[in-house]
């Protein structure tokens, strides 16, 4: 039989209130009783009942984690890693994460996630882009919300984002430091915040180095940033420009596509053309040569989102706090030092 706070109290020869105080590290307990109680807790291998304490404290002890099903099922485990990060972080404390997906075409008529309806969570973490209508309806529920890797247009929510501008600068500076001057940018939908920010970083870095960004070698004509469009973009770029010595692709998928084109077209990587991506996906290492990139710390993003949620729940955080998680330059073999 599972032991209760009463059993512990009896065994330690104290009241249940004292046990409760010890459990919550209240400091007005003599170290003597504290030890007695702790021993009893250990001896009985006592764990407090979550239901009971939640009932009193009017909390659920759960955090909801929402992403769209296509984000969850993506081949590249980006959001899965973010989830894992929040779960890792939650393990340190008393909270549990309830993961649920919504259809990516979530509409007005679809029911809200059950844990919202049933009020089984104390707050909700939203990862990646989700439909506006969900956000609106969530807001009505008055639950604390934290966004990660996405921020709704209102900007009124606490959020954890990748520092894309810094990443863009990092990547571009790396190429500049390697002596490159004609650095192409390959990106997808410029309306997507992460891509436009990476482009901003790219321009900033060029600017600082006194290089004038050349619109002819900035390709953002293919919205979806995947391999296929990376290939096509590179093809277009190189058919018109012969003097490009380096490419900064807005993500690894496009970089990989571009690499395929370069190989098909007979360019040596990195002998003739250097290339850097963004994300650090597993496939990078399988490439020939392995891709230099900007690493996005997915686990850390998730962990940070969880910490932010905790501080929101504890009333420690302002409602629209923004956290920019730094990225890291990973130099491998696809970029060449011209100096």
Partner DNA sequence: ATGAAAGCGCTAACAT
Partner DNA sequence: ATGTTAGCGCTTTCAT
State the residues that interact with its own copies by CB under 8 A. Answer: 2, 47, 49-52, 54-55, 60, 62, 69, 72-77, 80-81, 83-84, 87, 91, 96-101, 114-115, 117-120, 282
| Stretch 55-94 residues interacting with DNA (CB under 7 A) | 55-58
Could you say which of DNA, its own copies, none residue 239 binds, taking C-beta under 5 to 8 angstroms by partner kind? none
Least Å distance, CB 51 to its own copies, is: 4
CB closer to DNA out of 36 and 137: 36
Could you say which of DNA, its own copies, none residue 236 binds, taking C-beta under 5 to 8 angstroms by partner kind? none
How many residues touch DNA under the rule CB under 7 A: the total is 29
In the chain, the largest separation of any two C-alpha atoms, in whole Å, equals 85
For residue 243, what are its two tokens? 């003097």
CB closer to DNA out of 57 and 243: 57
Least Å distance, CB 116 to its own copies, is: 10
> Which of 306, 275, 82 minimizes the C-alpha distance to 180?
275
Which position among 38, 44, 53, 332 is part of the footprint of DNA (CB under 7 A)?
53
Least Å distance, CB 2 to DNA, is: 7
Residue 15: how many CA atoms within 13 Å on its side-chain side?
A: 4
Could you say which of DNA, its own copies, none residue 205 binds, taking C-beta under 5 to 8 angstroms by partner kind? none
Could you say which of DNA, its own copies, none residue 32 binds, taking C-beta under 5 to 8 angstroms by partner kind? DNA
Contact segment (CB under 7 A) with DNA among 11-19, 78-86, 191-199, 301-309 equals 11-19
* Residues engaged in binding DNA (CB under 7 A): 2, 4-6, 13-18, 20-21, 23-24, 28-30, 32-34, 46, 48-49, 52-53, 55-58
């Amino acid at each position: 039989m599972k032991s209760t706070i009463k059993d512990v109290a009896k065994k330690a020869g104290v009241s249940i209130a004292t046990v409760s105080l010890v459990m919550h590290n209240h400091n007005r307990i003599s170290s003597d009783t504290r030890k007695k109680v702790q021993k009893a807790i250990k001896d009985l291998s006592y764990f407090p009942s979550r239901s009971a304490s939640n009932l009193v404290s009017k909390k659920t002890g759960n955090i909801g984690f929402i992403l769209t099903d296509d984000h969850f099922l993506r081949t590249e485990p980006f959001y899965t890693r973010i989830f894992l990060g929040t779960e890792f972080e939650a393990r340190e404390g008393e909270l549990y994460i309830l993961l649920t997906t919504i259809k990516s075409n979530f509409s007005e008529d679809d029911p809200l996630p059950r844990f919202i309806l049933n009020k089984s969570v104390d707050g909700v973490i939203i990862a990646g882009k989700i439909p506006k209508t969900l956000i609106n309806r969530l807001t009505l529920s008055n639950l604390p919300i934290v966004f990660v890797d996405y921020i709704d247009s209102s900007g009124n929510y606490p959020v954890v984002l990748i520092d894309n501008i810094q990443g863009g600068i990092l990547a571009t500076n790396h190429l500049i430091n390697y002596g490159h001057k004609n650095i192409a940018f390959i990106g997808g939908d410029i309306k997507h915040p992460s891509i436009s920010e990476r482009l901003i970083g790219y321009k900033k870095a060029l600017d600082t180095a006194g290089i004038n960004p050349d619109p002819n070698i900035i390709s953002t004509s293919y919205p979806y940033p995947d391999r296929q469009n990376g290939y096509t973009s590179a093809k277009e770029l190189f058919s018109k420009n012969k003097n490009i010595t380096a490419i900064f692709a807005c993500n690894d998928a496009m970089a990989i596509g571009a690499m395929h084109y370069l190989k098909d077209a007979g360019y040596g990587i990195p002998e003739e053309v250097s290339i850097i991506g963004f994300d650090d996906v597993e496939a990078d290492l399988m490439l020939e040569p392995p891709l230099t990139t900007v690493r996005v710390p997915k686990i850390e993003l998730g962990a940070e989102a969880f910490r932010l949620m905790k501080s929101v729940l504890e009333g420690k955080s302002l409602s629209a706090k923004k956290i920019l998680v730094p990225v890291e330059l990973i130099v491998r073999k696809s970029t060449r030092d011209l100096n």
